[in-house]
Amino acid sequence: MITTRKLGRSDMSAPPIGMGCWAIGGHFTMDGMNDGWGDIDDAQSIRAIHVGLELGATLFDTSDAYGTGHSEEVIGEALKGRREQAIIATKFGYTYDRDRRALIGSDVSKTYIEWAWTQSARRLGTDCIDLFQIHVGELTDQQADEAGETLEKLADQGRIRAWGWSTGNVVSARRMLKFPNFVSIQQSLNVLNDAPDHIALCETGELASLNNSPLAMGLLSGKFGSGSQLPKSDVRAAGHSWVRDFVDGKPRPEVLRKIGAIRDLLQTGGRTTAQGALGWLLARSENTFPIPGFKTEAQVRDNLGALQLGALPPPVMQEIDGVLAELG
């Protein structure tokens, strides 16, 4: 069983499995294509958040992009009277049209960051955002430095406790270590797609590693097979080039083969496949915080059950590495 981990260089600690709140934002588009996860039920989302709190989750990761603010609104409603129980991590940087539920560009200027903070804080029902993250993954050095200076001022003013960056660019992220309130990097990381350079930076730089897609967009839940087909209303079928494990809403056969080859290992100790995948991340580094998404209470119970079961044992980790290396 794992209790809490320090959230990077901040003064915050949290159980190392959080709750990813992309799906509960509902429908929105990016580049003219669906970027949501199909139909949602706000009442069900709120119940699921309450279940998460009861099971010990405290880290909730969202963005003003998810449903163009709707995810933040749902979290704000769910946390009424419970704000002190949660660490809220949200993101900014993608501009949006709320009427059209569409992302339309990006902006990380000082003026926009302050505007985005105001909107997010209002929707979340808080006067201090715990972890405010840059959502745009690629910035020039000048853009990154100016954003960092603005975020440091927000921290000095008590409007945020710390900040981070959702980026796959390790070189750019390393430059931000000069800012004292920069405490985290968010990246895609799971047993099928490791990110060793990110992990190394987080460990040497004392940063939290927030892991999105910890279940490979649901594939590591174990519920998908070769006949699975998702609708176009789902981000996994919308045609985005960055969706790596699905093609036109169908799981890639080679990915399913890999999951089949390691399923028994992931299920070590009575774990579900999802719990094993999360246990792999907990064992991968002491800096990791997987943030699996959810829509239902059942998904939350399954995911957070990994906290009780803890990290996968080292011999199992080694065996998984060996199996995946053979498959290439």
Burial state string for 121-154 with b = 16 or more CB within 10 A and e = fewer than 16:
bebbbbebbbbbbbbbbebeeebbebbbebbbeb
Give DSSP secondary structure letters for 12-76.
Answer: -EE-S--EE-SGGG---EETTEE-SBS---HHHHHHHHHHHHHTT--EEE--TTGGGGHHHHHHH
Q: What is the mean pLDDT of the chain?
A: 97
Question: pLDDT tens digit string along 163-188?
Answer: 999 999 999 999 999 999 999 999 99
Distance CA 147, CA 55 (A): 36
Q: Dig out the tokens for 99 from the structure.
A: 């009427």
**Residue 240 CA: distances (Å) to CA of 32, 83, 229, 236, 317:** 10, 35, 16, 8, 32
Provide the pLDDT for residue 298.
Answer: 97
Do residues 18 and 90 lie in contact, with contact meaning Cβ atoms separated by under 8 Å? no
Provide the pLDDT for residue 328.
Answer: 81
* Residue numbers of the chain with a pLDDT score lower than 50: none
Provide the pLDDT for residue 1.
Answer: 65
Do residues 197 and 216 lie in contact, with contact meaning Cβ atoms separated by under 8 Å? no
Percent of the chain with pLDDT over 70: 99
